[in-house]
Structure 1
Amino acid sequence: MRYENQELYIGLMSGTSLDGVDGVLVCLPASPAAPIALLASAYVPFDETFRADALSLQQPGNNEIHLEALLANRLAAVYAECVSVLLAQSGPVTVSAIGAHGQTIRHRPELGYTRQTNNPALLAELTGISVVADFRSRDVAAGGQGAPLVPAFHRAIFGAAGETRVVANIGGISNISVLAADGSTHGFDTGPGNVLMDFWMQRQQGAAYDRGGAWATQGRVSEALLDRLMQEPYLALPAPKSTGRDLFHADWLLSHLRSFPDLAAVDVQASLCAYTARTLAQAITVDGKDVSAVYVCGGGAYNAQLMSLLRSELQATQKQITIESTASLGIAPEQVEALAFAWLAQQFCLRQPGNLAAVTGARGPRILGALYPA
């Protein structure tokens, strides 16, 4: 099946939450003004062994090169499974390319590198479709952070003339895109999203995540702990900036919790939920002038307690601000990042820049990615 004046792309995203792969099959128009048509979406979860092995590569260890290569092969197989599910929904189609983000295992732009494990050559073999991968490295090579990359996509899809909007992505790490009324765009990683809450939930309750924030609602926020966490130097750094599990990891949290030995586990969860909300709200309030609406995407959009706390934090200073998920704009929260990497694959194929230097701090616009032909 062919689509007139449109191209079909697949976007695959597996983020720092390490829950699984989100995939989309989309029609991307030749004209930027035309709408995107979502043809299929899929989610393939990671098993616990994959998740544990990926987490182990976040820290130095023995035989890292061998273990990373094996994980890359396993990830390519999960990606291929997701592609198969998407194509089963759509029927016979011609796909121009797959945009495959890979799984971030290290992010150290201050040292000149970011590493997303992946085997795009194997993915091209398994699917018979060209693959565009390694989107972040070129921006880092040009002096940028390599993240966040989604603001360019957010501007293209969610921007509105004469209105300042913020798109807040709450995955493992949170980031914002400020889509200013004058057409300018900026953004950065604001701090933890779900990563600390997920770790604490798994440690204390044996569950992968706190569904809807239900456990957090049973606790009381410790203002003393929250104040301590808010002293993290990263939060005060000027943009451009980006972060990840290299900073916000288990040992970081446990080192802070040693000063609160009597704090109930459920109160820690409540405080971590409040921490994500406050760091996001602080970033939006400081960096987003005259914001009329905040649209939330990522898994955090389904955490009712987190959304309630974010709403309270923002409306305390900006009474008229609207806080909703991107579903109100026609795109489900869990599909936004996968869509972004389909769009970035198209940008590569069109030989158009995919980064925004004002966001990442790169020396200028760059074509992002590397091609592995079918």
Structure 2
Amino acid sequence: GEKKIKFITIGYKIWFICTKINAKVVLQNTASMVFLFSRFLYFCRMKTEADEYYTLLLSLCQREEISLFEKYKQMRSLLERLCRSEMQNESLQMTDLAARISFVSAKAGLDIREQNRLHTFRLTSNEVLNRRESPAPEKLLRDAKTLAFFIRRLSGQDVPPELYRLLPKADATYIVSPFVRKKICRMRVCFQHSDETYLYVTPIDTIADEPLRIRYNVEKINGEFKDTCKRLWKHAQMNLLDVSVDEAGVLIPSFIVLEPDYLIDISSLAECFREYGHHPANYISGKLQPIDNARPLLLGNIANLFLDEWIHTQGEVTYKACMGKVFQRYCIELVACADLQDADTEKQFFNDCKAHFDNIGRTVTETFQMPGYNLDKTDAVIEPSYICEA
């Protein structure tokens, strides 16, 4: 808008004056001038965006017609936007807001108290948006102050007086969760740094004034994760499983899972392990191998389609309609199958398809209803995908 044009005009004027003062020096330092001018434009952008952020916070604090739930939703979205904006030029990819907060906080030089206030807002918004906690006006103002001060730290622009007057005068407080000396089933943490004995991490689901210590390379407990621990990077997410907490508060997990939010195809991973050794290139090699298109495999895939149709189709299920879908999905496989190249074997193949269709249909419509079974097909889940967060 007009503000952005004004800032750019001022920037060009500064550059023009500098060239008049000492053109030779400027020409020799063109790269420096370009860098400085780009930084100038960056701060101009930050100023205009900071105005938008402050205006949004002011509106949320003033407008009573907006529900507290909706206010928390918009404030959470604002925090996400702030973190992503600060990370847009970073090559490091993070799947979790907690890790992004830790990264941006370290980049901006926030101390542990300021970081904990941001994490307190994150945890509170988690509870509110998942409807596990009712939003409270005083907590909303506390979290609005946390966001306002975060914006001020990132942009260098003071909080507007009209917004500052609405915020609590006392510092935002956070509750540090004491660690209970017991077994913990699962715990999500964010890696910070390590030494020869400990990994230093911050918890994701609780607040801590200082990093927690993880004892790693403990024989017969977690020694097999030694190589993984050597390759950790700052802000990496980890799940700790079957965790013991000793008298000093040190965590000793039996299993360490790196980046649990990245989904892994176990079958593809298993392809990397062969009788002659294991290597990631085995996965690529497997992708280059021709796909097996034998008659039994093709018949099994068609039977799976029949089962899906009998379970999920509303109304009448007909063999003709199902075979239409078979030809749509497996047209190339049917034409290219080496076992179906003569009329007799092809006829027998489709007779087997009809037999599978009838048997599956009889099982779903009759056997499911028999005493001792009493199964409702609407409760069935066909080949579910299991996602294990561990």
TM normalised by structure 2 equals 0.21
Instruction: Select the structure that is richer in strand.
Output: 1
Q: Which has the larger radius of gyration?
A: 2
The structure whose RCO (Cα within 8 Å, separation 6+) is larger is 1
